[in-house]
Homo-oligomer: A and B are copies of this chain.
């Protein structure tokens, strides 16, 4: 936990908050705070800041926070992910939030098993703490919105334009050109990255995605498991956006 996230409702008008839960335990046992210590904090979906520890008593920790003026920017990559099996999805929530996604759009696909949708992994009570864990790891405050879509065709044809304003749409496909090769030729902008199920998008799904502006993007000759591909491609796309921004900054 590299930043402790607070709900705006927890903090009083003076920036004071009293923690009793796992965050208080973490502050005492891992960060080893004492009165006078300073720790990093953030407001959920708001600015980051620094908190001075005012008191440590019993299980509680009292903080006095000063927040920055603005919230961090929303990460520049939206993720469209064919729902993986529950065990894999459970592992991905925190990692995806840590890598940084503007939102998470989960979809059905031909090679997704129907029962994957009936698990508690998809209940907000189940995934919200995992997203927060990832944000606290990465020092972000913005909880990515999650939407779940059981009809792939309706999602792509009718709902996607309203969900994501990303100017560049990419779909993972093993044999395609790599993200660097594709993004180097484009302006930096928001990217919507679609990652298929284990076994890949089928031909109908690939054609529908292509018809809606998705360019195939690969990771070289190696075929990866969905969860590895998801982390690897998010990292490569973030890096490509950063590289394009460096080129743009240098040419200004």
Contact = CB atoms under 8 A, between A and B. Distances in A.
Interface string A117-158: 000000000000000000001111000000000000000000
A239 B180 contact: yes
Contact of A224 (B98, B184, B221, B243): B98
Contacts of A222: 98-100, 138-140
Counting every copy of the chain, the complex holds 2
A98 B178 CA distance: 16
B98 A225 contact: yes
Interface in A28-60: none
Contacts of A98: 222-225, 228
Interface in A146-183: 178-181
Interface string A98-120: 11100000000000000000000
A137 B225 contact: yes
Nearest to A227: B95
A224 B160 CA distance: 29
A2 interface: yes
A232 interface: yes
A242 interface: yes
Interface residues of A, number: 37
A150 B178 CA distance: 37
Contacts of A236: 235-236, 239
Contact of A223 (B94, B95, B137, B233): B137
Contacts of A63: none
A190 interface: no
Chain B CB within 10 A, most for which of A91, A94, A243: A243
Nearest to A179: B239
A246 B184 CA distance: 12
A234 to B, nearest CB: 7
11 contacts: A95-B228, A98-B224, A99-B222, A138-B223, A178-B242, A180-B239, A184-B243, A219-B239, A231-B231, A233-B235, A239-B240
Interface of A: 2, 91, 94-95, 98-100, 137-140, 178-181, 184, 219-225, 227-228, 231-236, 238-240, 242-243, 246
